Amino acid sequence: MSTMVYAGREVKRARYAVAAVFAVHGAVTGSFATRIPWIQDHAGVGAGQLGLALAFPALGASLAMPLAGRISHRFGARTALRGLLALWTLALILPSLAPNLLTLCLALFVYGATAGTADVAMNALGVEIENRLDRSIMSGLHGMWSAGALIGSAAGTLAAHLGTDARLHHALAAAVLTVLGAVACTWVLDLQPAEDEDPPPRFALPPRSALLIGAIGFCAVFAEGASLDWSAVYLRDELETSAGLAAACTTGFTLTMALARIAGDKVVDRFGAVRTVRVSGVLAALGGVLVVIGGHPAVAMSGFALMGLGIAVVVPLCFAAAGRSGPNPSLAIAGVATITYTSGLVAPSAIGGLAQATSLVVSFGLVTVLACGLVAGASVLRAGDRDRPKAGPPSAAVPGPRP
């Protein structure tokens, strides 16, 4: 990238702009998730066919993510992010228009592809801003994504309660979010490639470092997906609680994750990425043990809350480490994102399959083992620790990105 210089005030403003982009991205996800039942009925597909269709967003994202770096190189970071985010927000409309399984699969493929490319572009900019500020911000950015998802899901819940046609709901949501995203992108860093900088390859395997970092992200996202989709079922079926208490368990897990992400940057700045993830892994593993052996709703709920607290900052730190792990940050971030997307896809079905063969207790035993993997593999996130000299006071000019 070029050595364009930005004042501290511009970088801080860019931080808030990227935070708004993360919130917009999350709001699209929340808006879609709450209307899946309507989309299923409109397309006339059964549970098995819906499960097949819901694999296509991850497939689309996995194939499209490696393109994000080349798009940013071709158009510049700001223009690329504005365009990719607009494609993602507008893609929200497509699934609700699908009249059958084939068109739903195609719509969800596009939906996932646009989600993945925008995801890589905004995380790459987040890492760049974190480097310039010389303090952790990635956890807070992902916390903003969670906040956006919460707002989007709340609006979707209201629309579903009122019986609003999802085509109208998603058209209005897409229009609003497209405008908000375009406005937010006005203030992100306008990074441009250097004249002699070669474009990244269209497709390439991620570097080995990204695969190792992605393995840590896989463990965290597996625990997240398992807890989100199965915690309520665990309390209802294994511990025989009421439906309301079971739902409250999932809410508690989500809440601890969001709060930990918002507060996580200060912890990372003080203790570093490696130590933070090691302690996080201990908390997540302890939570898993409480879930598996507790035998009481209050103990299990405490376990799920601890698990949410433990895994909250891991994925943001994985993206931060990937962005500083080699000469091609976008390729590394795309590799980590692909692995974590895959984990989120396979976790719910893997937990269900293992539970059917054994029990949910055994399934969450597996989650606990993977949480222990965070402790064992935390050192691969050493690239996420910023040990270079301070850049100077906030008012000083900040050098441009390294080539």
Q: How confident is the model at residue 65 (pLDDT cuts 50, 70, 90)?
A: confident
Q: How confident is the model at residue 384 (pLDDT cuts 50, 70, 90)?
A: low
313's tokens: 């900052």
Helix or strand run (H / E) with residue 312:
none
Distance of CA 336 to the CA centre of its chain: 11
Average pLDDT taken over every residue of the chain = 86
pLDDT at 353: 85
pLDDT at 1: 47
Identity of the residue numbered 284: A
pLDDT at 202: 62
pLDDT at 400: 33
Cβ atoms 111, 57 nearer than 8 A: yes
Q: Which residues of 177-213 are buried (b: 16+ CB within 10 A; e: fewer)?
A: bbebbeebbebbbbbbbeeeeeebeeeeebbebbbbb
Lowest-confidence segment of 55-64, 77-86, 99-108 by average pLDDT = 55-64
Range with the largest mean pLDDT of 53-57, 185-189, 229-233, 355-359: 185-189
142's tokens: 């992902």
Average pLDDT value for residue range 317-333: 84
Cβ atoms 174, 93 nearer than 8 A: yes
403 pLDDT exceeds 60? Answer: no
pLDDT tens-digit map of 328-367: 777 888 889 889 888 887 887 788 888 888 888 999 999 9
Share of the chain above pLDDT 70, in %: 89
Q: How far is CA 72 from CA 17, 190, 337, in A?
A: 17, 10, 17
Range with the largest mean pLDDT of 63-72, 75-84, 196-205: 75-84
pLDDT at 338: 86
How many helices (H) and strands (E) in the chain?
17, 2
pLDDT at 378: 94
Helix or strand run (H / E) with residue 7:
strand 6-7
Share of the chain above pLDDT 90, in %: 51
The DSSP string of 19-70 is: HHHHHHHHHHHHHHHTTHHHHHHHHT--HHHHHHHTTHHHHHHHHHGGGHHH
pTM of the predicted model over 0.85: no
pLDDT at 2: 45
pLDDT at 390: 40
Which residue did the predictor score with more confidence, 268 or 195? 268
pLDDT at 240: 86
Identity of the residue numbered 11: V
How far apart (Å, rounded) are the C-alpha atoms in residues 56 and 44? 17
Which residue did the predictor score with more confidence, 205 or 77? 77
Phi-psi region of 201 (alpha: psi -120 to 50; beta: other; left: phi over 0): beta
pLDDT at 153: 85
pLDDT at 199: 66
pLDDT tens-digit map of 253-302: 888 888 899 999 999 999 999 999 999 999 999 999 999 998 899 999 99
pLDDT at 399: 32
123 pLDDT exceeds 90? Answer: yes
pLDDT at 122: 95
139 pLDDT exceeds 60? Answer: yes
Average pLDDT value for residue range 193-213: 71
Average pLDDT value for residue range 249-253: 82
